[in-house]
Structure 1
């Protein structure tokens, strides 16, 4: 028997918002130098501060670049080039990101694959040039490193983060050895497909299955798949979600709201 826990990474184990926001700003300067060259430090600080507020909308890391530019145009009307910006505020981003994203990507001629590659390259360069500061821009939530280190359950990480970055942080920041075949990162398929793969493994057939996420939309996708009815679903209340999303989650009988201390206790 025993338990298997599939864990999201950003927003469940690791608070990476500081690093991802700085990396996105660096990448945006490469992608759109005509807009970002010469930006005042005060404007950069305002953008990075507001990135934490809008972070709940991010599903995959490259979206951080889009948010950085959108915030810049909101802050500096003189450079506005996007039809969605007039009248937009951070609350509007939180409420309408799924509609805003395709509009601005088309207007900016931004391709997902290009942004993913650029975001990864900027992170790789930062790690190569100053690994300690890259690691230091991340933090594991209190208790989570010990929880996975001493877990009595079988642990998998299921994330949209590029695998090499999750592996580096687990190893070098948390000091935990998780076998590479237990980390499913960007490119391994949608999370619902990863969960299907995990439950199909013969060695997991008698285990209780648990999936911990901080994105309500991801959990809703799991609920839509009858094949995944065996999974116990949890929304981490400490992660990148909003009070409105936590309230909505409470309306789903399949989803349990989970506090950080309870999460750490469950793994141990």
Structure 2
């Protein structure tokens, strides 16, 4: 085990706000699969509202497809009812369009690769670090704590963005590394884990229930892509991390 403690961070919704890039890439991926449809270039409000339910990138391409339907379930039900039945709506959408998650994920990553190779500066400009995050990450070193990134985003795209914003984690685990609980288990064998900061409550709840991760401090990033009820009734071991608490020394975190 490393002598140095390690604090693990999710990426999208914790370190970086990439909402406009999510829509830009998802829109283009959807248009490549559905010929002759129209989708706005500006990020739709319904896409923003549904982003907190997204777990994997391919889901955003499917949401874009829902948004181009004039009489589809998203239009009929509205955002709240659609979100309440989110997983079932995704399954039904995959069946209706005849798609597989792998097809949507591949399409999304192809669009991103084209954007990075064709206009890297423009692609990077669709992202912005959350206020104060860069400075806080830099300050961890002064507290003797290393930090790493654990994300469901592809490693190459995450690395591009970290480099663009001059962020240097000691380790980067992307989608290719496997489910987050499994990665955390591996990390715990190699490091003295100080905690995991994530903005998806469901992921943190799975981590709390994972054998071998007992006692790992889990923090829900208050500034991330949270669902309306995510802050309520948090289970034991899961603490809401506000921006003010995040900026404070680790010794006084929850």
SS in 1 for 2:93: helix
Task: Give the drift of 1:228.
Answer: 0.5
1:246 and 2:231 aligned:
yes
Q: Distance in 2 between matches of 1:86 and 1:233?
A: 36
Name the residue aligned to 1:264.
247
Name the residue aligned to 1:136.
125
Equivalent residues in 2 for 1:113-192 (5 A)?
113-152=102-141, 153-172=145-164, 174-179=165-170, 182-192=171-181
Alignment RMSD, CA only?
1.9
Structure 1's consecutive aligned runs of 4 or more residues displaced over 6 angstroms after TM superposition are: none
Q: Check 1:4–1:177 CA distance in 2 against 1; reply closer, same or farther (3 A cut).
A: closer
- 1:238-258 Cα offsets, whole Å, 9 max, x none, are 10112311114x2x0110000
Q: Distance in 1 between matches of 2:133 and 2:244?
A: 9
Normalised to the residue count of structure 1, the TM-score between the two structures is 0.86
Q: Distance in 2 between matches of 1:62 and 1:186?
A: 12
SS in 2 for 1:157: strand
Equivalent residues in 2 for 1:201-216 (5 A)?
201=190, 204=191, 207-216=192-201
Equivalent residues in 2 for 1:69-84 (5 A)?
69-73=65-69, 76-77=70-71, 80=72, 84=73
SS in 1 for 2:194: strand
Name the residue aligned to 1:34.
36
Asked whether the equivalents of residues 14 and 139 of structure 1 are also in contact (C-alpha less than 8 Å), the reply is yes
SS in 2 for 1:244: coil
Q: Say which structure is richer in helix.
A: 1
Q: Distance in 2 between matches of 1:266 and 1:212?
A: 15
Name the residue aligned to 1:22.
24
SS in 2 for 1:230: coil
Number of residue pairs matched? Answer: 246
Name the residue aligned to 2:14.
12
> What 5-or-longer segments of structure 1 have no aligned partner?
none
